[in-house]
Amino acid sequence: MDQREKEIEKRLTTVVKNHGGLCLKLASPGRIGVPDRIIIYPNGVVGFAELKRPGEAPRPLQQYWLEQLRKLGLPALAIDSKSEAVNFALMLRLESLRRRTDNNIQRVEEMLRQREQDES
């Protein structure tokens, strides 16, 4: 891995960790081209990152796997800069927070329904 790519990877892992997530190195024996990193945040938020040197495009097999993951409804991105790494990590974190908020709203609504039933 090129030094610039390592710096992008370090930035991604640092931002994810600082926001309560995991940024795990993805190894898939027998599957060439799978993304380098899987990012996991609370509330079931998962994303995949293929890290590249600045200006470098994913190889065809890497692009294939990114497209396959997207077809499954998963965020999957080739990242070639520190700013892209930060943006992707924060986008996933925002989705995690949105889901937490939605879950809290559902709990409150359920509590209100239960209270109404108890009062009637």
pLDDT tens profile 68-110: 999 999 999 999 999 999 999 999 999 999 998 988 888 888 8
* CA–CA separation, 104 and 43 (whole Å): 12
| CA separation, residue 105 to residues 40, 87, 111, 116 (Å) | 23, 27, 10, 17
Give percent above pLDDT 70 in the chain: 100
Beta strands in the chain (DSSP E): 22-25, 37-41, 45-51, 76-79
By residue range, what is the domain housing residue 89? 3-119
25 Cβ contact partners less than 8 Å away, ≥ 6 residues apart:
36, 37
Looking at residue 62, its pLDDT comes to 97
- Please report, for the domain that includes residue 39, its CATH number: 3.40.1350.10
- pLDDT at residue 105, rounded to an integer: 86
Give the burial string for 96-109 (b: 16+ CB within 10 Å, else e).
Answer: bbeeeeeeeeeeee
Half-sphere CA count of 1, side-chain side, radius 13 A: 13
Q: Tell me how many domains the chain contains.
A: 1
Q: With contact defined as beta carbons under 8 Å apart, do 15 and 85 qualify?
A: yes
Cα–Cα distance for residue pair 20/97, rounded to 1 Å: 11
- The reported pLDDT for the residue numbered 67 is 98
Q: How far apart are CA 22 and CA 13, in angstroms?
A: 8
